[in-house]
Amino acid sequence: MPVHLAITRRVRPGCEAAFERAVRDFFRDSFGNGVQGAHLLSPVPGSGSREYGVLRTFASEAERAAFYRSPIFRAWEDKVLTLTEGPAQQRQLHGLEAWFHSGGPPPRWKMAVITYIGVYGITLLLTQTLTPLLKDWPLLLANGVFNLVVVGLLTWVVMPLLTLFSRPWLHASST
């Protein structure tokens, strides 16, 4: 199961361009070490913010752990110390935030459309296939099982496929 991480770093004043170059070089050098994707999120121009974000996807938890123990990562940490303030803040992404991780978040209305399509399709299919099997069950138990299957299929099958196939539309500039 892929592991998605959001990492934020505060860049020292005047080091923004050097940090962006260093990140691009690090991205290029780090692929193939269990890394499946990496994206740099820059502060909004004119905002005065020096907070940069990195979204990184690993093939598995084991690959993530190996990457953060690797010499390439240790070299990166040494290099970036002079460009940033304090340690990186890291958190693992789950659920909806992980489905839409690639390339930064798309507009909310596009995420809502893709989620609606996923929920609609899965509930339509399960109403025809699973509901007849649960018809003699107590309502609360049947509803609980139905929703458990919906959430499981959405999380591990439907949404990863929908976001993959709709990525060009999700990340196209919206008007």
Summarize the confidence of residues 50-70 as an average pLDDT: 87
pLDDT value at residue 120: 92
Provide the pLDDT for residue 96. 54
What proportion of the chain, given as a percentage, has pLDDT over 70?
89
Pair 43, 49: CB distance under 8 Å:
yes
Same domain, 82 and 21: yes
Confidence (pLDDT) at 98 = 54
What is the band of 175 on the pLDDT scale with cuts at 50, 70, 90? Answer: very low
Asked if 69 and 108 sit in the same domain, the reply is no
Q: What Å distances lie between residue 93 and 96, 122, 123, 145, 171, CA to CA?
A: 9, 23, 25, 25, 19
Domain ranges, residue 150? 103-170
pLDDT beyond 70 at 37: yes
- Could you report the per-residue pLDDT of 107-161, keeping only the tens digit for each? 778 888 888 898 999 999 999 999 999 999 999 999 999 988 988 888 778 887 7
Q: Which residue has the higher pLDDT, 107 or 97?
A: 107
Residue finishing a domain among 93, 117, 142: 93
Does some domain include residue 98? no
- Contact present, 34 and 67 (Cβ < 8 Å): yes
Q: pLDDT tier at 163 (50, 70, 90 boundaries)?
A: confident
Q: Is residue 175 part of a domain?
A: no
Is 166 contained in some domain?
A: yes
pLDDT, the chain, mean: 83
Axis crossing angle, helix 71-80 with helix 61-69, rounded to the nearest 10: 60
What mean pLDDT do residues 96-109 have?
60
**Number of domains comprising the chain:** 2
- Assess whether 149 and 129 both reside in one domain: yes
Same domain? For 83 and 42 the reply is: yes
